[in-house]
Amino acid sequence: MYSSHTYLKRKTPEPGVNRQEFIAHLIEEYYTTTNVEAQEQVSANLANFAYDPINWDYLKSAEALKLFVELLRTPNENLQLYGIAGLCNICLDKQSHDFILQKSHLKSIHTLLVKTENLEIALNILTLIYQLLTSLDAGYDKAFILTIEILKKIKFYCQSIKDQRIINISTLILEDFAQRHEMLPRRLLRLLSTKNTPPAAPYPEVKVIKRFTQNELDQFSQLTGDKNIVHSSSLPIEKRRVHGAFLNAIVAGIIGTKFPGPGTIVLEQRFAFLEPCRVETDTEIYIRLLKARKISLVSYECIQNQRVIFQGEAKLLLNAINK
């Protein structure tokens, strides 16, 4: 949840250290301590602060962005992850965006993506790259971000990595930016094309099949207090209905654990229950990523017996640091 200055003032005890001073203290602690665990904790805290726009000016004035870039050059994978997560969280700020696009800083990001085997680091870098590309000023040459080496790495992820989150964001980058003839030379387009590769689906999606049991409904009724008879075994099985909140919770669970995956936060939902969801019947759940940005958009639908019973859309905040 984003903060306000009024909220921060109310939550700061008297006499207490305000947010700006606290962030400055964290930066100082990183550079003065020799304890690696303390440096990791400080870096994680700073990356989390970058998640909230209210902290962006404080982070910039304390030169946290400079620290985030320095973390990418360390041999410590935890520090690398916190550094790239911090940049990913703050990159929508215009000044921060321009700072990241400086040649030496882009080089550090590129070097880390090429050499890392840590998929969480790679996921954050790919998300950062996508956000940088979607918010560039007119006239900026995208090829400075999508170099040949980086495009090769992204295609490797599409073809060789099983992590669906990596595949999804890599596919989006290639589809949205790597097929634009005005951007890429012909030799690079030939490099990225594969004759035997079938055309990509319009949107990346995931499918999960779920069969709701009466025992699950009873447990959900007990937990929520919703003991409406339509969910109980006192009705014939063909008349029983799965709780709408239960069905929606399953969808949210898939979004948070499978697609887009861990760290995803649901900001807003719009949905409709079109028909009853029946117990002990296979339910096909489809989730499609329509937009992959800082605030992303997915659509979803649930199908039983070839009929759509539940559908909706959700706005998501991607890449919050897992605690």
Strand order in the sheet with 205-211: 205-211, 282-291, 295-304, 307-317, 265-273
Does pLDDT of 310 surpass 70? yes
Q: Provide the pLDDT for residue 72.
A: 96
Q: Are residues 168 and 38 in the same domain?
A: yes
19 and 158 together in one domain: yes
Both 272 and 310 in one domain: the answer is: yes
Statement to judge: residues 128 and 220 lie in one domain: no
Q: How many domains does the chain have?
A: 2
Q: Using one digit for the tens of pLDDT, what is the confidence trace for 19-35?
A: 899 999 999 999 999 99
For 212-281, strand residue ranges (E) read 265-273
pLDDT value at residue 179: 55
Same domain, 86 and 14: yes
Domain membership of residue 262 as a residue range? 205-318
Q: Tell whether 152 and 236 lie within a shared domain.
A: no
Same domain as 12, residue 122:
yes
Of 104-108, 170-174, 237-241, 277-281, minimum mean pLDDT range: 170-174
Model pLDDT, residue 185: 43
Average pLDDT of span 254-272: 87
Name which residue leads in pLDDT, 266 or 66: 66
Does residue 156 sit in the same domain as residue 39? yes
How does pLDDT run across 141-172, given as a tens digit for each residue? 788 898 888 998 998 998 888 889 999 999 88
pLDDT at 7 > cutoff 60 = no
- Residue pair 29/38 in contact (Cβ under 8 Å)? The answer is yes
